[in-house]
Amino acid sequence: MKLLLDKAHIEGIRFFDTYRKNGGYTAVEKALKMSPDEVVEEVKKSGLRGRGGAGFPTGLKWSFLAKPEGIPRHLVCNADESEPGTFKDRYLMEFIPHLLIEGLIVSSYALGSNNTYIYIRGEYAWIPDILEQAIEEARSNGWLGKNIQGSGFDCEIYVHRGAGAYICGEETALLESLEGKRGNPRIKPPFPAVKGAWDRPTVVNNVETLAAVVPIMNMGGAAYGNIGVGKSTGTKLISACGNLNKPGVYEIPFDLSVEEFIFSDEWCGGIPNGKRLKACIPGGSSVPILPASLLLTTSTGEKRLMNYESLSEGGFATGSMLGSGGFIVLDEDQCVVKHTYTLARFYRHESCGQCSPCREGTGWMEKILKNIEDGRGKMSDIDLLWDIQRKIEGNTICPLGDAAAWPVAAAIRHFRDEFEWHVTNPQEALT
Protein backbone atom coordinates (compact mmCIF):
# COMPACT_ATOMS: atom_id res chain seq x y z
CA MET A 1 0.00 0.00 0.00
CA LYS A 2 1.33 3.40 -0.97
CA LEU A 3 0.44 6.43 1.10
CA LEU A 4 3.12 8.90 0.01
CA LEU A 5 4.08 7.95 -3.51
CA ASP A 6 0.68 6.70 -4.63
CA LYS A 7 0.39 9.67 -6.99
CA ALA A 8 4.04 10.14 -7.84
CA HIS A 9 3.65 8.52 -11.26
CA ILE A 10 0.87 10.86 -12.42
CA GLU A 11 1.95 13.09 -15.29
CA GLY A 12 2.21 16.70 -14.11
CA ILE A 13 1.73 15.91 -10.40
CA ARG A 14 4.48 18.42 -9.67
CA PHE A 15 2.00 21.18 -10.50
CA PHE A 16 -0.83 22.48 -8.37
CA ASP A 17 -3.75 21.85 -10.72
CA THR A 18 -2.95 18.20 -11.27
CA TYR A 19 -2.16 17.67 -7.61
CA ARG A 20 -5.41 19.30 -6.53
CA LYS A 21 -7.46 17.36 -9.09
CA ASN A 22 -6.03 14.17 -7.67
CA GLY A 23 -7.21 14.83 -4.15
CA GLY A 24 -4.52 17.29 -3.06
CA TYR A 25 -5.06 19.81 -0.25
CA THR A 26 -8.02 17.91 1.22
CA ALA A 27 -5.86 17.32 4.31
CA VAL A 28 -5.65 21.09 4.79
CA GLU A 29 -9.40 21.45 4.31
CA LYS A 30 -9.99 18.81 6.94
CA ALA A 31 -7.45 20.21 9.39
CA LEU A 32 -8.78 23.77 9.21
CA LYS A 33 -12.19 22.50 10.32
CA MET A 34 -10.58 21.07 13.46
CA SER A 35 -8.79 22.81 16.32
CA PRO A 36 -4.98 22.73 16.26
CA ASP A 37 -4.97 20.45 19.31
CA GLU A 38 -7.29 18.03 17.57
CA VAL A 39 -4.84 17.81 14.67
CA VAL A 40 -2.02 17.05 17.12
CA GLU A 41 -4.27 14.38 18.62
CA GLU A 42 -4.75 12.71 15.22
CA VAL A 43 -1.00 12.61 14.68
CA LYS A 44 -0.55 11.11 18.15
CA LYS A 45 -3.11 8.42 17.36
CA SER A 46 -1.33 7.58 14.12
CA GLY A 47 1.77 6.43 15.98
CA LEU A 48 3.91 8.19 13.35
CA ARG A 49 7.59 8.12 14.25
CA GLY A 50 10.16 10.63 13.01
CA ARG A 51 11.47 9.59 9.62
CA GLY A 52 14.72 11.56 10.01
CA GLY A 53 16.31 8.57 11.70
CA ALA A 54 15.73 8.76 15.43
CA GLY A 55 12.15 7.44 15.23
CA PHE A 56 10.83 9.69 18.00
CA PRO A 57 6.98 9.76 18.12
CA THR A 58 5.92 12.85 16.20
CA GLY A 59 2.64 13.56 18.02
CA LEU A 60 4.41 13.38 21.37
CA LYS A 61 7.09 15.79 20.20
CA TRP A 62 4.42 18.18 18.99
CA SER A 63 2.66 18.05 22.35
CA PHE A 64 5.95 19.05 24.05
CA LEU A 65 6.03 22.34 22.15
CA ALA A 66 6.15 25.17 24.66
CA LYS A 67 3.55 27.90 24.21
CA PRO A 68 4.64 30.94 26.20
CA GLU A 69 2.32 33.91 25.79
CA GLY A 70 3.25 36.37 23.04
CA ILE A 71 6.25 34.45 21.68
CA PRO A 72 6.04 33.14 18.10
CA ARG A 73 6.63 29.44 17.47
CA HIS A 74 8.17 27.89 14.40
CA LEU A 75 8.06 24.71 12.39
CA VAL A 76 11.31 23.90 10.58
CA CYS A 77 11.43 21.17 7.97
CA ASN A 78 14.69 19.26 7.96
CA ALA A 79 15.61 18.72 4.30
CA ASP A 80 19.34 18.57 4.91
CA GLU A 81 19.45 14.88 3.92
CA SER A 82 23.17 14.09 3.93
CA GLU A 83 23.48 10.67 5.51
CA PRO A 84 25.34 8.47 3.00
CA GLY A 85 22.83 6.10 1.41
CA THR A 86 19.88 8.45 1.97
CA PHE A 87 18.15 10.21 -0.93
CA LYS A 88 14.45 9.72 -0.26
CA ASP A 89 13.59 13.30 0.76
CA ARG A 90 15.10 14.55 -2.46
CA TYR A 91 12.81 12.23 -4.43
CA LEU A 92 9.75 13.42 -2.57
CA MET A 93 10.59 17.11 -3.01
CA GLU A 94 11.58 16.73 -6.62
CA PHE A 95 8.63 14.71 -7.86
CA ILE A 96 5.74 15.47 -5.54
CA PRO A 97 6.58 18.82 -3.90
CA HIS A 98 2.96 19.72 -3.11
CA LEU A 99 2.75 16.73 -0.77
CA LEU A 100 5.41 18.35 1.40
CA ILE A 101 3.85 21.81 1.13
CA GLU A 102 0.45 20.39 2.07
CA GLY A 103 1.96 18.55 5.04
CA LEU A 104 3.73 21.73 6.09
CA ILE A 105 0.51 23.76 6.05
CA VAL A 106 -1.35 21.20 8.17
CA SER A 107 1.57 20.89 10.59
CA SER A 108 2.09 24.65 10.81
CA TYR A 109 -1.59 25.00 11.69
CA ALA A 110 -1.36 22.32 14.36
CA LEU A 111 1.72 23.93 15.93
CA GLY A 112 0.75 27.57 15.44
CA SER A 113 3.69 28.40 13.19
CA ASN A 114 2.99 31.44 11.01
CA ASN A 115 6.49 31.41 9.56
CA THR A 116 7.75 27.98 8.59
CA TYR A 117 11.15 27.21 7.11
CA ILE A 118 12.46 24.43 4.92
CA TYR A 119 16.19 24.02 5.54
CA ILE A 120 17.53 22.23 2.47
CA ARG A 121 21.09 21.07 1.84
CA GLY A 122 22.87 23.51 -0.45
CA GLU A 123 23.91 20.90 -2.98
CA TYR A 124 20.28 20.19 -3.87
CA ALA A 125 20.55 23.47 -5.75
CA TRP A 126 17.75 22.91 -8.27
CA ILE A 127 15.15 21.78 -5.75
CA PRO A 128 14.48 25.19 -4.12
CA ASP A 129 13.15 26.35 -7.52
CA ILE A 130 10.70 23.45 -7.54
CA LEU A 131 9.63 24.08 -3.95
CA GLU A 132 9.33 27.83 -4.44
CA GLN A 133 7.17 27.29 -7.48
CA ALA A 134 4.93 24.96 -5.50
CA ILE A 135 4.74 27.52 -2.69
CA GLU A 136 3.79 30.25 -5.17
CA GLU A 137 1.10 28.07 -6.69
CA ALA A 138 -0.28 27.23 -3.26
CA ARG A 139 -0.34 30.88 -2.33
CA SER A 140 -2.08 32.06 -5.50
CA ASN A 141 -4.74 29.43 -4.89
CA GLY A 142 -5.35 30.63 -1.36
CA TRP A 143 -3.58 27.81 0.55
CA LEU A 144 -0.80 30.00 1.91
CA GLY A 145 -0.49 33.62 2.99
CA LYS A 146 -3.05 35.54 5.01
CA ASN A 147 -6.28 34.00 6.25
CA ILE A 148 -5.92 30.64 4.51
CA GLN A 149 -9.29 29.54 3.05
CA GLY A 150 -11.02 31.99 5.33
CA SER A 151 -9.84 30.17 8.46
CA GLY A 152 -8.12 33.15 10.05
CA PHE A 153 -4.82 31.23 9.99
CA ASP A 154 -1.82 32.96 8.33
CA CYS A 155 1.16 31.00 7.11
CA GLU A 156 4.28 31.64 5.04
CA ILE A 157 6.79 28.98 4.01
CA TYR A 158 10.38 29.94 3.19
CA VAL A 159 13.10 27.82 1.63
CA HIS A 160 16.50 28.29 3.26
CA ARG A 161 19.55 26.76 1.57
CA GLY A 162 22.49 25.38 3.52
CA ALA A 163 25.97 25.33 2.07
CA GLY A 164 27.50 21.90 2.46
CA ALA A 165 27.77 20.45 5.98
CA TYR A 166 26.32 17.09 7.02
CA ILE A 167 26.25 18.21 10.62
CA CYS A 168 23.55 20.77 9.79
CA GLY A 169 21.11 17.86 9.57
CA GLU A 170 21.44 17.50 13.36
CA GLU A 171 18.53 19.65 14.48
CA THR A 172 20.36 22.05 16.77
CA ALA A 173 23.22 22.54 14.29
CA LEU A 174 20.51 23.18 11.71
CA LEU A 175 19.05 25.91 13.90
CA GLU A 176 22.48 27.50 14.38
CA SER A 177 22.93 27.43 10.62
CA LEU A 178 19.47 28.93 10.08
CA GLU A 179 20.56 31.76 12.35
CA GLY A 180 23.54 32.40 10.07
CA LYS A 181 26.23 30.72 12.13
CA ARG A 182 28.60 27.76 11.89
CA GLY A 183 26.74 24.47 12.31
CA ASN A 184 27.90 23.68 15.84
CA PRO A 185 25.35 21.51 17.67
CA ARG A 186 23.91 22.83 20.91
CA ILE A 187 23.74 20.85 24.11
CA LYS A 188 20.31 19.21 24.60
CA PRO A 189 18.25 19.77 26.70
CA PRO A 190 16.81 22.29 26.23
CA PHE A 191 15.20 20.64 23.23
CA PRO A 192 14.18 22.84 20.30
CA ALA A 193 10.56 22.35 21.36
CA VAL A 194 11.38 24.65 24.27
CA LYS A 195 14.23 26.75 22.89
CA GLY A 196 14.80 26.54 19.15
CA ALA A 197 15.20 29.02 16.31
CA TRP A 198 15.97 32.50 17.70
CA ASP A 199 15.33 31.01 21.15
CA ARG A 200 11.67 30.47 20.26
CA PRO A 201 9.85 27.15 20.68
CA THR A 202 10.50 25.18 17.50
CA VAL A 203 9.61 21.81 16.07
CA VAL A 204 12.11 20.30 13.66
CA ASN A 205 10.78 17.44 11.54
CA ASN A 206 12.04 15.49 8.59
CA VAL A 207 10.56 15.94 5.08
CA GLU A 208 9.04 12.48 5.01
CA THR A 209 7.55 12.88 8.49
CA LEU A 210 5.76 16.05 7.46
CA ALA A 211 4.57 14.53 4.18
CA ALA A 212 3.10 11.59 6.15
CA VAL A 213 0.86 14.03 8.00
CA VAL A 214 -1.19 14.31 4.78
CA PRO A 215 -2.38 10.68 4.62
CA ILE A 216 -2.84 10.77 8.40
CA MET A 217 -5.28 13.66 8.09
CA ASN A 218 -7.00 12.15 5.09
CA MET A 219 -7.62 8.71 6.56
CA GLY A 220 -7.62 9.65 10.24
CA GLY A 221 -4.90 8.94 12.77
CA ALA A 222 -6.37 5.69 14.03
CA ALA A 223 -6.68 4.21 10.52
CA TYR A 224 -3.06 5.13 9.75
CA GLY A 225 -1.99 3.58 13.03
CA ASN A 226 -3.62 0.30 12.03
CA ILE A 227 -1.31 -0.02 9.04
CA GLY A 228 2.07 -1.57 9.72
CA VAL A 229 3.55 -3.78 12.41
CA GLY A 230 3.67 -2.96 16.12
CA LYS A 231 5.19 0.46 16.72
CA SER A 232 6.17 0.77 13.05
CA THR A 233 3.00 2.37 11.71
CA GLY A 234 2.23 3.59 8.21
CA THR A 235 4.75 3.06 5.43
CA LYS A 236 8.40 4.03 4.95
CA LEU A 237 10.47 5.42 2.13
CA ILE A 238 13.63 3.42 1.61
CA SER A 239 16.44 4.65 -0.61
CA ALA A 240 18.31 1.61 -1.86
CA CYS A 241 21.82 1.78 -3.31
CA GLY A 242 25.13 -0.01 -3.67
CA ASN A 243 25.23 -3.28 -5.60
CA LEU A 244 21.62 -3.70 -6.67
CA ASN A 245 19.94 -4.28 -10.01
CA LYS A 246 17.31 -1.67 -9.32
CA PRO A 247 18.55 0.95 -6.86
CA GLY A 248 16.14 3.78 -6.12
CA VAL A 249 13.45 5.07 -3.79
CA TYR A 250 10.72 2.66 -2.68
CA GLU A 251 7.76 3.04 -0.39
CA ILE A 252 7.58 -0.17 1.58
CA PRO A 253 5.06 -1.79 3.90
CA PHE A 254 6.61 -2.58 7.30
CA ASP A 255 5.88 -6.29 7.01
CA LEU A 256 8.13 -6.71 3.98
CA SER A 257 11.05 -9.07 4.55
CA VAL A 258 14.57 -7.83 3.90
CA GLU A 259 15.11 -10.81 1.63
CA GLU A 260 12.14 -9.97 -0.53
CA PHE A 261 13.13 -6.32 -0.68
CA ILE A 262 16.58 -7.14 -2.00
CA PHE A 263 15.82 -10.05 -4.29
CA SER A 264 12.28 -9.76 -5.57
CA ASP A 265 11.72 -8.17 -8.98
CA GLU A 266 9.00 -6.03 -7.53
CA TRP A 267 11.65 -4.29 -5.42
CA CYS A 268 15.43 -4.11 -5.90
CA GLY A 269 15.66 -7.06 -8.29
CA GLY A 270 18.66 -8.76 -6.72
CA ILE A 271 22.37 -8.21 -7.13
CA PRO A 272 24.01 -7.48 -10.50
CA ASN A 273 25.78 -10.26 -12.39
CA GLY A 274 24.31 -12.91 -10.12
CA LYS A 275 26.78 -12.12 -7.39
CA ARG A 276 26.17 -13.09 -3.80
CA LEU A 277 25.05 -10.77 -1.05
CA LYS A 278 27.89 -10.05 1.34
CA ALA A 279 26.70 -7.33 3.68
CA CYS A 280 24.30 -4.46 4.09
CA ILE A 281 23.96 -1.23 6.02
CA PRO A 282 20.19 -1.02 6.30
CA GLY A 283 19.56 2.45 7.71
CA GLY A 284 22.09 4.99 6.47
CA SER A 285 25.87 4.98 6.96
CA SER A 286 25.78 5.55 10.70
CA VAL A 287 23.97 2.34 11.59
CA PRO A 288 25.80 -0.98 12.02
CA ILE A 289 26.69 -3.08 8.97
CA LEU A 290 25.37 -6.67 9.02
CA PRO A 291 26.68 -9.73 7.21
CA ALA A 292 24.16 -11.44 4.90
CA SER A 293 23.22 -14.16 7.39
CA LEU A 294 22.29 -11.77 10.20
CA LEU A 295 20.64 -9.40 7.78
CA LEU A 296 18.17 -11.92 6.39
CA THR A 297 17.35 -13.66 9.67
CA THR A 298 17.32 -12.45 13.25
CA SER A 299 19.27 -14.12 16.04
CA THR A 300 16.13 -16.08 16.89
CA GLY A 301 15.99 -17.51 13.39
CA GLU A 302 13.05 -15.50 12.14
CA LYS A 303 12.89 -13.69 8.81
CA ARG A 304 14.08 -10.15 9.33
CA LEU A 305 11.56 -7.51 8.32
CA MET A 306 12.00 -3.96 7.11
CA ASN A 307 10.77 -2.18 10.26
CA TYR A 308 12.10 -0.44 13.37
CA GLU A 309 11.74 -3.40 15.72
CA SER A 310 12.89 -6.21 13.47
CA LEU A 311 15.97 -4.44 12.12
CA SER A 312 17.15 -3.62 15.62
CA GLU A 313 16.35 -7.09 17.02
CA GLY A 314 19.35 -8.46 18.88
CA GLY A 315 20.81 -5.02 19.61
CA PHE A 316 24.17 -4.22 18.07
CA ALA A 317 25.47 -7.75 18.73
CA THR A 318 23.37 -9.22 15.92
CA GLY A 319 21.12 -6.40 14.74
CA SER A 320 21.21 -2.90 13.31
CA MET A 321 18.67 -0.06 12.86
CA LEU A 322 16.13 1.28 10.38
CA GLY A 323 17.58 4.79 10.83
CA SER A 324 16.94 7.08 7.89
CA GLY A 325 16.13 4.20 5.52
CA GLY A 326 19.35 4.48 3.52
CA PHE A 327 19.84 0.87 2.44
CA ILE A 328 23.40 0.14 1.21
CA VAL A 329 24.15 -3.28 -0.27
CA LEU A 330 27.62 -4.78 -0.73
CA ASP A 331 28.18 -7.75 -3.05
CA GLU A 332 30.70 -10.54 -2.44
CA ASP A 333 33.53 -8.72 -4.25
CA GLN A 334 33.40 -5.61 -2.08
CA CYS A 335 35.97 -4.90 0.60
CA VAL A 336 34.45 -4.05 3.97
CA VAL A 337 37.68 -2.41 5.11
CA LYS A 338 37.71 -0.04 2.17
CA HIS A 339 34.03 0.78 2.50
CA THR A 340 34.45 1.47 6.20
CA TYR A 341 37.44 3.66 5.43
CA THR A 342 35.35 5.86 3.11
CA LEU A 343 32.78 6.26 5.88
CA ALA A 344 35.45 7.13 8.44
CA ARG A 345 36.80 9.73 6.05
CA PHE A 346 33.27 11.08 5.67
CA TYR A 347 32.79 11.51 9.42
CA ARG A 348 36.22 13.09 9.89
CA HIS A 349 35.34 15.55 7.12
CA GLU A 350 31.96 16.33 8.68
CA SER A 351 32.91 16.59 12.36
CA CYS A 352 32.26 20.15 13.50
CA GLY A 353 35.28 19.94 15.77
CA GLN A 354 33.70 21.04 19.05
CA CYS A 355 34.38 17.84 21.01
CA SER A 356 37.88 16.36 21.19
CA PRO A 357 36.82 12.69 21.08
CA CYS A 358 34.96 13.28 17.82
CA ARG A 359 37.39 15.76 16.23
CA GLU A 360 40.54 13.74 17.04
CA GLY A 361 39.03 10.27 17.07
CA THR A 362 37.52 10.49 13.59
CA GLY A 363 40.90 11.58 12.22
CA TRP A 364 42.73 8.71 13.89
CA MET A 365 40.19 6.16 12.71
CA GLU A 366 40.47 7.41 9.15
CA LYS A 367 44.29 7.21 9.19
CA ILE A 368 44.42 3.76 10.77
CA LEU A 369 41.82 2.37 8.38
CA LYS A 370 43.71 3.82 5.42
CA ASN A 371 46.88 2.14 6.64
CA ILE A 372 45.17 -1.22 7.03
CA GLU A 373 43.50 -0.86 3.64
CA ASP A 374 46.84 -0.04 2.03
CA GLY A 375 48.56 -3.06 3.58
CA ARG A 376 50.53 -1.00 6.07
CA GLY A 377 48.55 -1.99 9.13
CA LYS A 378 49.53 -3.98 12.23
CA MET A 379 47.40 -6.47 14.16
CA SER A 380 47.41 -4.10 17.12
CA ASP A 381 45.79 -1.43 14.92
CA ILE A 382 42.56 -3.41 14.92
CA ASP A 383 42.39 -3.29 18.70
CA LEU A 384 43.39 0.36 18.64
CA LEU A 385 40.49 1.12 16.29
CA TRP A 386 38.14 -0.70 18.62
CA ASP A 387 39.47 1.28 21.55
CA ILE A 388 39.11 4.64 19.80
CA GLN A 389 35.54 4.05 18.69
CA ARG A 390 34.59 3.03 22.21
CA LYS A 391 36.08 6.23 23.60
CA ILE A 392 34.11 8.37 21.16
CA GLU A 393 30.75 6.71 21.70
CA GLY A 394 28.61 8.52 24.22
CA ASN A 395 31.25 11.13 25.01
CA THR A 396 30.25 13.90 22.67
CA ILE A 397 27.77 16.77 22.40
CA CYS A 398 25.82 15.35 19.48
CA PRO A 399 25.35 11.85 18.06
CA LEU A 400 27.72 12.41 15.13
CA GLY A 401 30.35 10.91 17.41
CA ASP A 402 28.28 7.73 17.79
CA ALA A 403 27.50 7.78 14.08
CA ALA A 404 31.23 7.72 13.37
CA ALA A 405 31.95 5.05 15.95
CA TRP A 406 29.22 2.53 15.15
CA PRO A 407 30.16 1.69 11.55
CA VAL A 408 33.74 1.00 12.59
CA ALA A 409 32.66 -1.07 15.57
CA ALA A 410 30.23 -3.14 13.52
CA ALA A 411 32.74 -3.72 10.73
CA ILE A 412 35.27 -5.09 13.24
CA ARG A 413 32.61 -7.05 15.11
CA HIS A 414 31.37 -8.89 12.03
CA PHE A 415 34.32 -8.80 9.64
CA ARG A 416 37.39 -8.97 11.86
CA ASP A 417 38.85 -11.70 9.66
CA GLU A 418 38.87 -9.28 6.75
CA PHE A 419 40.85 -6.70 8.73
CA GLU A 420 43.30 -9.43 9.81
CA TRP A 421 43.64 -10.62 6.24
CA HIS A 422 44.73 -7.12 5.18
CA VAL A 423 47.39 -7.13 7.88
CA THR A 424 48.74 -10.58 7.03
CA ASN A 425 48.53 -10.15 3.25
CA PRO A 426 49.83 -6.61 2.72
CA GLN A 427 50.83 -7.28 -0.89
CA GLU A 428 47.42 -8.57 -1.95
CA ALA A 429 45.62 -5.97 0.13
CA LEU A 430 46.92 -3.26 -2.14
CA THR A 431 45.69 -4.80 -5.38
Ligand X SMILES: NC(=O)C1=CN([C@@H]2O[C@H](COP(=O)(O)OP(=O)(O)OC[C@H]3O[C@@H](n4cnc5c(N)ncnc54)[C@H](O)[C@@H]3O)[C@@H](O)[C@H]2O)C=CC1
Residue 389 and residue 362: Cα distance in Å, rounded? 8
Q: Is 118 exposed, middle or buried (0-12, 13-18, 19+ CB in 10 A)?
A: buried
Measured CA to CA, the distance from residue 315 to residue 298 in angstroms comes to 10
Q: Toward other proteins, which CB reaches closer, 34 or 66?
A: 66
Is the Cβ of residue 374 or residue 402 nearer to ligand SF4 in the bound state? 402
Q: Which partner, other proteins, ligand SF4, ligand FMN, none, binds residue 163 by CB below 5 to 8 Å per kind?
A: other proteins
Q: Which does 247 bind (CB under 5 to 8 A by kind): other proteins, ligand FMN, ligand SF4, none?
A: other proteins
Q: How far apart are CA 324 and CA 263, in angstroms?
A: 21
Per CB under 6 A, 169 contacts ligand FMN:
yes
- Using DSSP, state whether 141 is helix, strand or coil: coil
Among the listed residues 99, 238, 398, 412, the single contact to ligand SF4 using CB under 6 A: 398
**Least distance (Å) between residue 27 CB and ligand FMN:** 17
Task: Tell me the per-residue interface mask from 277 to 296 with other proteins, x by CB under 8 A, - otherwise.
Answer: --------x-----------
| 132 is a contact residue toward other proteins (CB under 8 A) | no
Provide, rounded to whole angstroms, the least separation between the CB of residue 348 and ligand SF4.
Answer: 10
Nearer to ligand FMN, 205 or 362 (CB): 205
Residues 159, 337, 355, 412: which binds ligand SF4 (CB under 6 A)?
A: 355
Contacts of 307 (CB under 8 A, 6+ apart): 228, 229, 230, 232, 236, 254, 255, 322
Report if residue 20 touches other proteins, rule: CB under 8 A: no
Please name every residue paired with 116 in a beta bridge, in sequence order, or none if there are none: 157
Of 82, 52, 81, 85, whose CA–CA distance to 328 is shortest? 85
Question: Does position 352 bind ligand SF4 by CB under 6 A?
Answer: yes
Q: Show the site string, 240-259: x = touches other proteins by CB under 8 A, - = not.
A: xxxx---xxx----------
Which stretch of DSSP H or E encloses residue 365? helix 356-373
Binding mask 52-81 for ligand FMN (x = CB under 6 A): xxx-x-x-------------------x-xx
Q: What are phi and psi of 428, to 5 degrees?
A: -70, -30
DSSP letter for each residue of 238-269? EEEEES-SS-EEEEEETT-BHHHHHH-TTTT-
Q: Which of 12, 23, 353, 426 binds ligand SF4 (CB under 6 A)?
A: 353
Shortest separation between residue 350's beta carbon and ligand SF4, angstroms:
7
Question: Which DSSP letter does residue 187 get?
Answer: P
What is the spatial order of strands in the sheet that 115-120 belongs to? 156-161, 115-120, 74-79, 202-206
- 351: contact with ligand SF4 by CB under 6 A: yes
Q: Which residues, 6 or more positions from 160, have their beta carbon under 8 angstroms from its beta carbon? A: 117, 118, 119, 120, 178
How many whole angstroms separate alpha carbon 253 and alpha carbon 305? 10
Angle CA 62–64–67, to nearest 5: 95
Pairing of β 202-206 and β 74-79: parallel
Q: Of these partners, ligand SF4, ligand X, other proteins, none, which one is at the site of residue 328 (CB under 5 to 8 Å by kind)?
A: other proteins
Q: Which of 82, 233, 318, 389 binds ligand FMN (CB under 6 A)?
A: 82
Query: H/E element holding 367?
Result: helix 356-373
Binding residues for ligand X, rule: CB under 6 A, are 50, 52-54, 56, 61, 64, 81-83, 86, 169-171, 191-193, 204, 284, 286, 323-324, 399, 403
The piece of 62-70, 80-88, 292-300, 410-418 that touches other proteins (CB under 8 A) is 80-88
If you compute the radius of gyration of the chain from its CA atoms, what whole number of angstroms results? Answer: 22
Strands 248-253, 235-242: parallel, antiparallel or unpaired by DSSP?
A: antiparallel
290's enclosing H/E stretch is strand 290-291
- Binding ligand SF4 (rule: CB under 6 A), the pick from 100, 385, 397, 412 is 397
End-to-end CA distance of the chain, in Å?
46
Q: Which does 352 bind (CB under 5 to 8 A by kind): ligand FMN, ligand X, ligand SF4, none?
A: ligand SF4
**Which of 78, 209, 235, 239 touches other proteins by CB under 8 A?**
239
Residues that bind ligand SF4 in the complex, under the rule CB under 6 A: 167, 185, 351-355, 358-359, 396-398, 400-401
Residues that bind ligand FMN in the complex, under the rule CB under 6 A: 50-54, 56, 58, 78, 80-83, 167, 169-171, 204-206, 209, 398-400, 403
Residues that bind other proteins in the complex, under the rule CB under 8 A: 72, 81-87, 90, 115, 117, 121-126, 156, 158, 160-166, 177-183, 198, 239-243, 247-249, 285, 326, 328, 330, 334, 338-339, 342-343, 345-346, 349-350, 352
